[in-house]
Amino acid sequence: MTFDPSNATLLVVDDVPENIDVLFDDLTAAGYHVLVCDSGKAALETLEVQEPDLILLDVMMPGLDGLETCRRLKQMAAGRDVPVFFMTALDDPFDKVRGIEAGAIDYLTKPVFPNEVLARIQAHLEIRQLQKSLHEQNDRLDAALQRSIKAETALKNSLTRAMLVVTQPHNEILFSTRQAQALVSRHGGQAALQQWLEQGVEVVNHDQAPRLHISRRPAESDPGTLLITLEEEAPPPRPDDLLALGLTPKETETLFWVAQGKTNPEIAVIVGKQLCTVKKNLESILLKLRVETRLAAALRANELFQSN
C-alpha cells in the first residue's frame, strides 16, 4: 500500500501565528492538506464538521490548553481514533507523561525540525492507513455475512413454501402444505380458493396489502395436474419497524441501513450526514442494544422486521 501525503488532512493547533506559518509551509510543501486553528475551542469546533487524519497540538495555549483540548477531542467520535502529536518547549518527562495520559501518541519538542516532523507524521499515518483499511475490510465482511444470512434464510423459506397440487379440469385439491392452508384461510377460505382457480386469478387483494400472488405450472409427471404456489407479498421493512428498540430517530435510520448491509461510508451518503456522525450513531446503537458488533445489531433489526 503506497503512502500518498495528498490523501491526508492534518490539523495544526497553535496560538502563535509564526509557529503555524512554519508548519503550514513545511507540511503543504510535502503534499499534505493542512487545516489550522489558533485555539483549542476552534479545534473542537473544526472536528464537529471534519475529521483530520492527524493533529499537531500545542500544549501551552491560553484558555483551553492542549492537554484539556486533547482530553475533550478524545471523547468525540470524530477525534477518538485520530493520532495527536503534542508540540511543546517543555522537556520535563512528567509533562510528557501527562500528555500521553491525555491521549497523545507522540511528542515534538520545540523548535521542531521539519525532517523529523515529516518522518514521524508519515510513520503514524501509514499505521492509520492500515487500520482504516482493516476497518473497511471488516465492514465489507460484515455486509457480505449479512447478505449470506439473508440468502440462507430465503433458501430455508423456499423449502417450506405454500403449495397445492390440483387436478384439472375440476380443480380438485390433492395436496396442500400447512403454509398454503394458512394463507387460504387468511384470504377467504376454500370457497375463495375455488373461485381463484376457476377464474385464473393471479393476484388477490389488488388494492390492499398484503397481496397474495398465485402462480401455476403443470406437474412434470402429470400434465393434467397443476402445481399452485401461493406467495404473500410482505411489506418492505421500514425504519419505523425498529421503534420498539428505543433508539433516537437518527439512530433508528442508521440501524435500518446497517440491517440492509450498507457500510458506514454508504450510509453517510444515503442519509446525507458526515461519516463521523454515522460512526457516533452506530456506537450509541451498540451501547443501547448491549451488543458488541454491527452484525449483532443488524440481526436484532432483522428479527423485528420478520416479526412485523
Taking only Cα atoms into account, the Rg of the chain, rounded to an integer number of angstroms, comes to: 30
**Model confidence band, residue 83 (pLDDT cutoffs 50, 70, 90):** very high
Specify the pLDDT at position 155.
46
Q: Which range (19-23, 30-34, 96-100, 124-128) has the least confidence?
A: 96-100
Among candidate residues 306, 258, 301, the one with its CA nearest the CA of residue 283: 258
Range list of H helices, 50-113: 66-73, 93-102
**Structure confidence by residue, pLDDT tens digits, 254-285:** 999 999 899 999 999 998 989 999 999 999 99
The architecture that CATH gives domain 5-132 is 3-Layer(aba) Sandwich (3.40)
- Please state the pTM of the whole predicted model: 0.48
**Can you list the pairs that 260-265 forms with residues at least 24 positions away whose Cβ atoms lie under 8 Å?**
261/143, 261/146, 261/147, 261/150, 261/298, 262/143, 263/136, 263/139, 263/140, 263/143, 264/139
Q: Which ranges of the chain would DSSP assign to H, the alpha helix?
A: 17-29, 40-49, 66-73, 93-102, 114-158, 178-186, 189-199, 249-259, 264-271, 275-289, 294-307
Altogether, the residues listed in the chain come to a count of 308
The pair phi, psi for residue 159, each rounded to 5°, is -80, -10
Domain(s) of CATH 3.40.50.2300: residues in the chain: 5-132
Closest CA to 109 of 91, 92, 94: 91
In the block, cell 501518541 appears at 105
Calculate mean pLDDT across residues 182-198. 85
Q: What is the 3-state secondary structure (H, E, C) of 258-288?
A: HHCCCCHHHHHHHHCCCHHHHHHHHHHHHHH
What's the pLDDT tens digit per position in 121-170?
A: 999 999 888 888 888 888 888 887 877 676 566 545 544 678 888 888 88
Residue with the larger pLDDT of the pair 294 and 3: 294
pLDDT > 90: what percent of the chain? 37
pLDDT at 107 over 90: no
Q: What is the pLDDT of residue 243?
A: 85
- In the chain, residues under CATH classification 1.10.10.10 are 237-307
- Residue type for position 284: S
Confidence (pLDDT) at 231: 82
Chain mean pLDDT for the chain: 85
Q: Are 57 and 87 in contact (CB under 8 A)?
A: yes
pLDDT in tens, 211-240: 788 888 887 767 778 888 888 777 778 888
**Is the CATH number of domain 237-307 1.10.110.30?**
no
